[in-house]
Amino acid sequence: MKAFLEELAESIYAKHRHALDGITLVFPNRRAILYFRKYLSEKLDRPVFSPKFLTIEDFIGGYSAWQVPDKLELIHRLHKVYATITTADQVRESFDQFYFWGEMLLRDFEEVDKYMVDARFLFKDLSHQKEIDSTFDFLTPEQIEFLKSFWLNFDEKDSANKAKFLTLWRKLPEVYDAFKQELASANYAYDGMVHRAVAERFKSGELKIAATATPTIYFAGFNALTKAEEVIISSLVEAGVAHVHWDLDAYYFNNNTQVAGRYFREYEQHKVLKRTFDTDIPANFLNHMRGDHATSNVKLFGASQSVGQAKAAAEIVKDILAKGAVPEDTVIVLPDEKLLMPVLHSVTGTVEKLNVTMGFPLASTPLFNLIELLIELQLIKKGNEFNHRAVTALLGHPYVVAADPAGARSKVKEIVHKSWVSIPSSFLITTTPLHQLMFVPVNEVAGKGIVKPLVHYLREIIVALGNLKFLTDIDREYCLHFLKLISRIEEVIGESESHQEVTAKSERQSLKSFLRLFRQLIRAEKIPFTGEPLRGLQIMGVLETRNLDFKNVLILSLNEGAFPSFASKGSYIPHNIRSAYGLPTPDHQDAMYAYLFYRVLQRAQNVHLFYTTETDDLGEGEMSRYLQQVLYESGVKSERSILHNALQPKPSEAITVVKDQRVFQSLSRFIAGSTASDGLSPTAMNDYIECRLRFYFKYVAGIREAREVEDDLDARMLGNFLHGVMEKFYQDLIDQKKNALIEKEDIHHPEKTIEALIDHVFKKTYHLDPEAAVEYEGQRVVVREVVKRFAHEILKKDEAYAPFELLGVESKKDTYAIRLDLEGNPEVLISGSIDRTDRKDNVIRVIDYKTGKDDISFFGDVRDLMNRDVDRNKAAFQTMVYALLFYKNSKKLTEAVKIVPGLMNRVNLFDDSFTFGLKKDRVLVDDATPMLAEFEDGLKALLQEMFDPAVPFDQTLDDKKCKLCPYREICSR
């Protein structure tokens, strides 16, 4: 079966073999021109002068002197016009804020002109007009109904949004006219403006081409024409100088229910274009794809995941080529561009050569992410210091790591170790050229703004990056495209910014504007892949298949939402008004894509159609309507298969670590330890009770939790701040008084002291300049207020409790340790640092500060605090360990005392009826001393188990305990 372009080449050659250079052929795209050249050259038996080949855009543009600039230039000029006209009604938007709306407005103006709609009537305010029928007597009754259905809603009381819409709507005719005048004065135009002007010149007779004996202009392979294209083509056909070659099939042309043939049926009724249709419409689809004598094979494949389609397609291509098929006769069509890279990876090694006729989104490149990070680094800097999150994100970027792996790792490690939130530029600059360029603060230059220095900064980094040896050719291609793009942004927004007054706020705003505009521009940018267009396996998007035929066709992503796509480009023009004026609607897009689907199949011999079997709650992702038509309407015989994953994920197995010699060697440090810091802490024992395997990972295997520099509102950091403030408050007080007796007047009105101590702890924690004032911004303000409030409440309760003697505050010298005898094992050392101990009369309080909502109650036997099979109170266990440690280290207390362990936390501190201590079975424990012996026995049993060779380190059976575990990924839970 011959391809459409091959048949066209034969027809053109037969008619014009002696004068090929006298004709012009117009195609929808450049790809069709390449293939037509190939087919025509195969017919020639001698050298000849070539016909003229043009795309429809080039053909129409040839009748105009206007130049079409890039979209950025068009929207920039539209912004100027829009701002001038609408300034009186609303606050002026910056260019980056306007860009999204400007892009939408430009798209609307393009369609208004390409479909030759009268903008004065289109944008007319009909909200209060009852005479729609008489005002628009040139519309059909159906179109008038569309108008009524929209505008009659405005008879009701207008909402604020409706009023805003109407205000803008009334301005659009003025914006439209002024924008076109602005462009024309600079000899510029957008495509639609060119199309309309040329069409109107043909329509009025101003443009005329002398008639010829036979047509000399051929339009090939068109389907859904715009009104301007229709006027131009029909004018040339009517003049006898042009002919149209339609690429269609009887299956969808003769069937009124098939939307794929909608536009052909309309043109067949057109007073001029109807003469361009052949009497006999080809029936390739019906003849070759259904019936007992079908010569085409159609196979459907359902896969649970998109990547599965890519893998299956690669296997089918491999099988087709192994059977002798020619790669050039095979195409993979990708409605979803996100599958491009999976397909390329999958076919690598299967074919020697391939050609990709679709662009790769710049937004999916690693360089886009790097530039985003660089701009954000500068956006949130303070002077010569950078935010830790921006820095660590940059140091983790693949390009930055590859430039200096050891340097990047060591910097991140040191930042985390020091808990640095704001990092000096001087610390980050290394001998690596890329690092030297990245961590330089970019500041506004007087009279030039921030954009020029920022672009210079980015340009230097991209150039340096492009010179690195490890970069691939495609990475360097990314660099080239981004260099061009940021230069264009500089040209457009740099000039207006240079007139602004320089302030820190304007600098940040300019950086935000640059980043916002950069992201919007990248969204639509793609890198065109280059290759040998007529060699190897072809990989294309849907639109690129126009006019092209292949023997072996594989179409992926045949699901609703992908083919056809649900993606809707925004518009100022509501659907009803679009319908009334004949502007494109979703129905238009559906008809166009339906045609492209059937067209690529109608001459194919081997068809493989893929879809995913998973759908969402809204139906997106279900089998495409086109695929269902093939299955249930067409009568085409097809084989249908559901692809299953050959490799199923292996169920995660329980992890158990047997206590061997290596394990006991590690555990021995809790036996041989000579200082308090060598002992088992209450936290470590809590971890062992919660999950023996977690304890093994952390304390035996030495696998450290992944640490990050925490933001100021992290719960652990809040606790550390509070501990630091309270320790410093009482230690300074003791040093000042030369004794530990705390009286009411010592802690009366401590506000200024607390604020100074919070500053001190902040500076110490974040390695800030001790002489400089702390800048409290963002979450730091919240942290300061939370810590201040907790500290004040603690001191308020202390003032009410005073006088009392302070026995100890949390510090290394107040770390307590004891050794516990285990049966058959040496003594085990346990230790812990108590937040605070104080004494009043014969009561000693063992205090644990908590900023959380830990419960102060426990139930049942005190040994249940160590029972992992019940819902136990971890905070109560920890506080009881502190009480035992204090008791065992305080034998010098000869008189009878009561030891009361407890928490000062969010639950009880802010309660007016504050009572200190734990509650056992809802009864306040006024002396824990009688329980300590039993608690110690429980601890010994726990440690006996820990050192028992027969008890392995295994996973907890309670999955809820794994939710916040830092090792959950190791366990696959």
Q: What is the secondary structure of 834-872 as a DSSP string?
A: -SEEEEETTEEEEEEE-SS----EE-S-GGGGG-TTS--
> Which tens digits make up the pLDDT trace of 375-425?
999 998 888 889 889 999 999 999 999 998 998 999 998 888 877 888 889
Per the model's pLDDT, the better-predicted residue between 973 and 331 turns out to be: 331
**How confident is the model over 27-46, as a mean pLDDT?**
92
Give ∠ CA 945-947-949 in degrees, rounded to 5.
90
Q: Say which range, 201-205, 502-506, 962-966, has the weakest mean pLDDT.
A: 502-506
Return d(Cα 193, Cα 115) in angstroms, integer: 11
Return d(Cα 380, Cα 386) in angstroms, integer: 7
pLDDT at residue 709 in the model = 60
pLDDT at residue 647 in the model = 46
- Please, which pLDDT band fits residue 695 given cuts at 50, 70 and 90? very high
C-alpha dihedral, 565 to 285 to 330 to 362, nearest 10°? -20
> Quick one: how far is CA 45 from the chain centroid?
56
| 114 closest CA partner among 235, 226, 234 | 226
> Which tens digits make up the pLDDT trace of 427-485?
988 888 888 899 999 887 665 678 889 999 999 999 999 888 888 888 888 899 999 98
Q: Say which range, 199-203, 327-331, 514-518, has the weakest mean pLDDT.
A: 514-518
- Please, which pLDDT band fits residue 129 given cuts at 50, 70 and 90? very low
Is residue 157 predicted with pLDDT exceeding 80? no
pLDDT at residue 351 in the model = 84
> Which tens digits make up the pLDDT trace of 698-727?
999 988 876 666 554 556 678 888 999 999
Percent of the chain whose predicted confidence (pLDDT) is above 90? 50
pTM score, whole prediction: 0.75
In degrees and rounded to multiples of 5, residue 223 shows phi and psi of -130, -85
> Which tens digits make up the pLDDT trace of 79-107?
999 988 887 656 577 888 888 889 989 99
Residue 873 CB-half CA count within 13 A = 23
Report the Cα–Cα distance between both ends of the chain, in Å, rounded.
57
Task: Please answer whether residues 298 and 524 qualify as being in contact, where contact means their C-beta atoms are separated by less than 8 angstroms.
Answer: no
Return d(Cα 903, Cα 946) in angstroms, integer: 28
What does DSSP say about strands 804-809 and 741-742: parallel, antiparallel, or unpaired? antiparallel
pLDDT at residue 492 in the model = 78
- Please, which pLDDT band fits residue 211 given cuts at 50, 70 and 90? confident
Percent of the chain whose predicted confidence (pLDDT) is above 70? 88
pLDDT at residue 338 in the model = 86
Distances (CA, A) of 423 to 426, 760, 964: 9, 19, 29
Per the model's pLDDT, the better-predicted residue between 307 and 372 turns out to be: 372
Return d(Cα 316, Cα 555) in angstroms, integer: 12
Scanning the structure block, which residue is given the tokens 């059977």? 323
pLDDT at residue 240 in the model = 92
> Which tens digits make up the pLDDT trace of 510-519?
888 888 888 8
Per the model's pLDDT, the better-predicted residue between 969 and 13 turns out to be: 13
DSSP-derived letter for residue 947 is T
Return d(Cα 383, Cα 380) in angstroms, integer: 10
**Identity of the amino acid at 826:** P
Mean pLDDT value across the chain = 86
**Identity of the amino acid at 224:** A
Task: Please answer whether residues 17 and 46 qualify as being in contact, where contact means their C-beta atoms are separated by less than 8 angstroms.
Answer: no
> Which tens digits make up the pLDDT trace of 948-972?
999 999 999 888 888 888 888 888 7
DSSP-derived letter for residue 431 is S
Q: Say which range, 204-218, 656-670, 807-821, has the weakest mean pLDDT.
A: 807-821
- Please, which pLDDT band fits residue 524 given cuts at 50, 70 and 90? confident
Fold of the domain spanning 293-358+532-643: Rossmann fold (3.40.50)
For residue 34, what are its two tokens?
């390449």
**Other C-beta atoms lying within 10 Å of the C-beta of residue 525:** 18
**How confident is the model over 904-932, as a mean pLDDT?**
90
Return d(Cα 846, Cα 227) in angstroms, integer: 86
pLDDT at residue 214 in the model = 73
Going along 733-855, which residue ranges are E strands? 741-742, 804-809, 815-822, 825-833, 836-840, 843-849
> Which tens digits make up the pLDDT trace of 603-642?
999 999 999 987 655 445 688 999 998 888 887 777 888 7
Question: What are the sequence ranges of the domains in the chain?
Answer: 4-63+207-282, 71-195, 293-358+532-643, 363-528, 715-805
**How confident is the model over 278-284, as a mean pLDDT?**
90
